[in-house]
Amino acid sequence: MPDHPIESQAPQFAGGAADPSDPLGPAELALSASLVRASPELSATLRFISANLTEPERGAEVVAARQALVVVLDLEARAGFEARVDLGAGRVLSIERLPKTVQPGIALEEFVLCEEVVKRDPQWRAALARRGITEFDKAIVDPWSAGAYGDEKFPEARLAQALTWIRGSDDDVGYGRPVEGVIAWVDLITMRVLEVVDDVAYPLPPPTGNYTANSVGPMRADLRPLEIIQAEGPSFRVSSRLVEWQRWRFRVGFTSREGLVLRDIAYYDRGAWRKVLRRASLSEMQVPYGDPTPTHNKKNVFDVGEYGIGRMANALTLGCDCLGAIHYFDADVLTMAGEVETLKNAICMHEEDYGVLWKHTDWRTNHTEVRRSRRLVVSFFATVGNYDYGFFWYFYQNGDIAVEVKLTGCLSVGALPPGVEPTHGVLVAPQLYAPIHQHFFSFRIDPEIDGEGNTVFEVDTERDPEGPGNPYGSSYRHRTTPIRSESEGARDADPARGRTWFVAAPGRRNAVGRPPGYKLMPGADTVRPFAHEGSSLLARAGFIRHSLWVTRYDPREKYAAGDYINQNAKPDGVAAWVKQDRPLEATDLVLWYTLGVHHVPRPEDWPVMPVAYAGFMLRPAGFFDANPAMDVPPPVPMHSCCVS
């Protein structure tokens, strides 16, 4: 047993003033836009793509002034630019033109403009008219990213491929009647339709897709209220962006590209705050479709790098995403016009009961001790066209951290003639099919276990060889292998070996003389891509090849597919960075963990998909000297608890 008692006193909450790593506020965003607009190196026709904090480098002296990185599209120059702004001095430090081979991400407002220009285009209208569609106002048009396949007719243009559906009313999801075979290629700088591809002319599927409460028929009448009541308020404490809850402390951040960012995650143990993670966020997403038909074969989107998923965050005032005593955080972003927009209630934080935390019944004395688990939930939802994604971070009283993605929304579908079966998808309604596809989510995990240089070990379980040492053929043990350099750092989940990865602080020792650490435990969603080597998909999304990548920390390496992925045929990203083969032992590391969700659609996924779940867990392994949740008090019998 450890020679010290489990800490029973919570730390005193000192509150949290603004931190140098907190997101840019409205005044800073407005100043950034104003300074960039006034720069003589840029024209007067700018589109603002993003503006986010340039995060302080490690070990650098913290100064009062903060810096912003502003990405703009100069319409006159037909090029993207990075502007670095010193907010304290009120001046632009530098402006750099992006290479011709890349495009900045697509701004949310460009979606709206693209839809408007397509719906006015005579080629597009003629293609619809050939199918007997003349009510153009009922059409919805979604611009999809163009990718980089090597066969582009307009390689110099800032492109979007616009697909069309016919919507019956505001009560349907809008995607139930695709106009198969019509693709409008649009130059997003000139906002001009360059070409309308008119391939097959299948009839529209029958009307389907109603989803509102007023349109789907009588609601169930046997569902009684279930209320979450916290009469004394929540157990968390919040000051500015600093949160403390049940021995946990962290800061809540946000960027227009990644969405929710968590920083400086620590756990109070033995009278001190022990560091766990320096930074954690979604880094990139990739959604490849497996259908080779012309309407669908270039659906391979990067929802973070191409669109900026933070910009698409929902305002959570508009639904029941969270229950209980809720604390919301707003998010401030720049619009395409360079105006400050506040996404109200973009991040939700609340507590949840999570069943049994620990329990033991002494069958000899008939005495039972049980503790109920409570977890803290920090989350945001984003809508990317048809799909809706929720990103949830869970903190537990026993030191666990879990990450969960919730996938819902509407499938991206195609049309077929009556009686025809799809070859690369599933019929979800008459004449309506959903192509087979995948979702890859790469999370950037920046560990700081006990604040020292860390080492990652791969932990496999293996059978003992048959023989005298394994008399019944059922012995097995775990084997721990250090990942010494980046050439060894591309790893895959292996359920057959019970594989996990252990992030240790090798310079410290716990009560049993071992290095303290956390282990990364893969979830069930570990599928890998089906694209062939040499495909444009794997050239651009190299990070999806493996479940885990381990790299040495470099402040320039922020996103799994690189800084600029839109129309970029050869980005850098984590698959390129590991070729440096930097040493990884007892140093500053970054873990890039990728979930792989394989979706063979079902009719039950239509018209709105029930939530599918994917995730992974970070669990203490020798970080504590004993169960840190032993001091959680017993539940107080109230209401129906313990009542037969």
Question: DSSP string of 114-144?
Answer: HHHHHHH-HHHHHHHHTTT---GGGEEEEEE
| CATH classification of the domain holding 137 | 3.10.450.40
CA-nearest of 153, 61, 46, 21 to 104 is 46
Question: Which range (313-317, 367-371, 417-421) has the least confidence?
Answer: 313-317
Residue 72 and residue 153 in one domain: no
Q: Tokens for 406?
A: 């919730």
Sheet containing 476-482: give its strands across. Answer: 327-334, 340-362, 367-384, 387-396, 401-409, 609-620, 517-522, 500-504, 455-463, 476-482
Sheet containing 425-429: give its strands across. Answer: 414-415, 432-435, 425-429
Arithmetic mean of pLDDT, 585-594: 97
582 lies in some domain:
yes
Give the pLDDT score at 76: 97
Residue 488 and residue 572 in one domain: yes
Give the whole-angstrom CA distance, residue 395 versus residue 266. Answer: 11
Which residues does 473 contact at the CB level (< 8 Å), separation at least 6?
466
Place of tokens 């016009």: 337
Q: What is the mean pLDDT of the chain?
A: 94
556 lies in some domain:
yes
> Tens digit of pLDDT for each residue in 502-555?
999 999 999 999 999 999 999 999 999 999 999 999 999 999 999 999 999 999
Give the whole-angstrom CA distance, residue 55 versus residue 263. Answer: 11
Check whether 619 has a pLDDT greater than 50.
Answer: yes
458 lies in some domain:
yes
Arithmetic mean of pLDDT, 220-233: 91
Residue 178 and residue 260 in one domain: no
Residue 430 and residue 567 in one domain: yes
pTM: 0.95
Which residues does 43 contact at the CB level (< 8 Å), separation at least 6?
74, 75, 76, 77
Q: How confident is the model at residue 1 (pLDDT cuts 50, 70, 90)?
A: very low
Cα-to-chain-centroid distance, residue 289:
19
219 lies in some domain:
no
| CATH classification of the domain holding 252 | 2.70.98.20
> Tens digit of pLDDT for each residue in 120-154?
999 999 999 999 999 999 999 999 999 999 999 99
Angle among Cα 514, 519, 525 to the nearest 5 degrees reads 160
Arithmetic mean of pLDDT, 260-273: 97
Which residues does 591 contact at the CB level (< 8 Å), separation at least 6?
444, 445, 446, 447, 456, 501, 503, 520, 548, 549, 550
Give the pLDDT score at 12: 74
391 lies in some domain:
no
Number of domains observed in the structure of the chain: 3
Strand partners, 323: none
> Tens digit of pLDDT for each residue in 23-56?
999 999 999 999 999 999 999 999 999 999 999 8
Q: Tokens for 227?
A: 């209320």
> Tens digit of pLDDT for each residue in 63-111?
558 999 999 999 999 999 999 999 999 999 999 999 988 899 999 999 9
Contact call for residues 294 and 310 (beta carbons, < 8 A): no
Give the pLDDT score at 3: 44
Residue 308 and residue 437 in one domain: yes
Residue 89 and residue 128 in one domain: no
- Give buried/exposed letters for 228-247 (b at 16+ CB in 10 A, else e): eeeeeebebebeebbbbbbb
CA-nearest of 306, 283, 288 to 532 is 288
Strand partners, 143: 162
> Tens digit of pLDDT for each residue in 284-298?
999 999 999 999 999
Q: How confident is the model at residue 6 (pLDDT cuts 50, 70, 90)?
A: very low
Q: How confident is the model at residue 422 (pLDDT cuts 50, 70, 90)?
A: very high
Catalytic positions, written as ranges: 303, 387
- Among 51, 78, 97, the domain-final residue is 97
Residue 464 and residue 593 in one domain: yes
Residue 277 and residue 305 in one domain: yes
Residue 450 and residue 509 in one domain: yes
Q: How confident is the model at residue 320 (pLDDT cuts 50, 70, 90)?
A: confident
> Tens digit of pLDDT for each residue in 240-252?
999 999 999 999 9
Give the pLDDT score at 224: 93
320 lies in some domain:
no
Give the whole-angstrom CA distance, residue 79 versus residue 46. Answer: 10
Give the whole-angstrom CA distance, residue 523 versus residue 394. Answer: 15
Q: What is the dihedral of CA 120, 122, 127, 131, to 10 degrees?
A: 80
Percent of the chain with pLDDT over 90: 89
CA-nearest of 403, 438, 412, 414 to 538 is 438
Strands (E), 560-630: 589-599, 609-620
634 lies in some domain:
no
Residue 271 and residue 414 in one domain: yes
Percent of the chain with pLDDT over 70: 95
Q: Could you write out the DSSP letters of every residue in 552-579?
A: E--TT--STT-S--TT-SS--SHHHHGG
Which residues does 444 contact at the CB level (< 8 Å), separation at least 6?
279, 280, 281, 282, 283, 558, 559, 560, 590, 591, 592
Residue 409 and residue 477 in one domain: yes
Query: Which residues constitute the domain of residue 66?
Result: 26-97
- Among 66, 97, 128, the domain-final residue is 97
Give the whole-angstrom CA distance, residue 316 versus residue 69. Answer: 27
Check whether 217 has a pLDDT greater than 90.
Answer: no
629 lies in some domain:
no
Residue 89 and residue 165 in one domain: no
Give the pLDDT score at 2: 40
Length of the chain: 644
Arithmetic mean of pLDDT, 264-290: 97
Q: Could you write out the DSSP letters of every residue in 280-318?
A: EEEEEEEEEB---STTTTT-EE-TTTTT-GGGGB--GGG
